[in-house]
Amino acid sequence: MKVLRRLVLFLLLMAIVAGAAVWWVWRKANAATGTGEGAPRVVLVPTGGDLDGLVDTLQAQRLVEDVAFFRRWAELRKFSSPRPGRYVVEPGTSINDLVLRLRRGEQDPVRVTFTNVRTLDELAGRVARYLEPDSLALLEALRDTTLMREHELGPETSISLFLPNTYEFWWTTTPAAFVERMAREHDAFWEGARTEKAARLGLSPVEVSTLASIVQAETIKPDEAPRIAGVYLNRLRIGMPLQADPTLKFALGLDSVSRILDKDKLVDSPYNTYTHAGLPPGPINMPEPRNIDAVLNAERHDYLYFCARDDFSGYSDFAKSYAEHLRNARRYQRALNARRIYR
């Protein structure tokens, strides 16, 4: 009986120890990680990344202190190959919850914003700040002639496919998938009323974007954009050259200059709207949706000219006759001279 009693006590003691061990392990697995306090942490798992790389990242983010325990718990939860993605780990997240999220690949989207973009190079650089692909891989896709031909676009017009805004993407979005998503956004933007308005103006969506890019380069005042668009539309209707200084700056690569000189108007380029009638071959920047809408909803008037005001307010003086325009232009030129702005 004594032997039996001792055996029962021993087994009971072992059960208590085992239970305590299980409880300790479970409690540790479900305790908050290093995010118990403070701001959420962002964990980036690159494509092709392994568990060792993930552990290094979690340590760097101070999410895992006991690496041996994390590895053992991951093994128990059958987690050995992390899925790529961007994971936002909230304060209070446990090791168990973190392992399960990473195992399932429940990544969080990233908000991608791009505005004030002039070229595809700038777009690639801007987007690369948010997504896994680097700027070179993105630029290759943005310049992929095969991809662009699918959307009836060429090198001069491909920038019109991209509409500045804020979008949600997976961090792992590939360059080709980025282009395709932008194509869907473009088609949704132009579907219906906007395409109909463009047709009433006698323009295609690409031509509207081209004109909108000029309007965007002409003014930073949203309330004035429809009036400037109206000037250019009036010129197009009567076959008058657009004579848009921003297109000269684009042709010359002189976007930063404040003053266009007469010699600049002689540049041999299809973007020289002083010597070539009609619209240039494509947009000179990436027009914001508001400037596209400024063209589609252009103000109706009889103005054929406009010139920056001499008070440097950012607004323009408009004129119906060339004589009136010359007076406005000379007044502005005197103001430039007074400030010693010669280029």
Cβ distance 89 to 33 under 8 Å? yes
What superfamily does domain 40-108 belong to in CATH?
Endolytic murein transglycosylase (3.30.1490.480)
Sign of the C-alpha dihedral computed for residues 186, 205, 213 and 142 taken in this order: positive
Tell me what percent of the residues of the chain surpass a pLDDT of 90.
74
As a whole number, mean pLDDT of residues 187-212 equals 97
Q: How far apart are CA 169 and CA 252, in angstroms?
A: 36
214 token code pair: 């000029």
The answer to whether 191 touches 214, Cβ cutoff 8 Å, is no
State the Cα–Cα distance between residues 54 and 59, nearest whole angstrom.
9
**What DSSP line would sit under 93-117, residue for residue?**
-BHHHHHHHHHHT----EEEEE-S-
DSSP state of 74: H
Tell whether the model's pLDDT for residue 316 goes beyond 90.
Answer: yes
- Interstrand relation of 165-169 and 316-319 (parallel, antiparallel or unpaired): unpaired
Helices 205-218 and 225-238: crossing angle in degrees, nearest 10, is 120
Beta-bridged to residue 153, according to DSSP, are none
Alpha-carbon distance of 197 to 182, in angstroms, equals 22
- pLDDT per residue over 276-309, tens digit each? 999 999 999 999 999 999 999 999 999 999 999 9
Mean local confidence (pLDDT), 221-235: 98
Residue 319 pLDDT > 60? yes
d(Cα 339, Cα 302) in Å, to the nearest integer? Answer: 32
Under DSSP, the state recorded for 321 is S
Which one, of 175, 182, 173, lies nearest residue 136 by Cα? 175
Give the span between the Cα atoms of 291 and 125, in whole angstroms: 23
Please give the mean pLDDT across all residues of the chain.
Answer: 90
pLDDT of amino acid 341 = 82
Q: Per-residue pLDDT tens for 253-276?
A: 987 777 788 899 999 999 999 999
Residues of the chain with CATH 3.30.1490.480: 40-108
Element (H, E) at 145: helix 145-149
d(CA 57, CA 46): 11
Q: What span, in angstroms and rounded, lies between the C-alpha atoms of 141 and 163?
A: 16
The pLDDT value given to residue 23: 43
Q: What is the pLDDT of residues 133-165, one digit of tens each?
A: 999 999 999 999 999 999 999 999 999 999 999
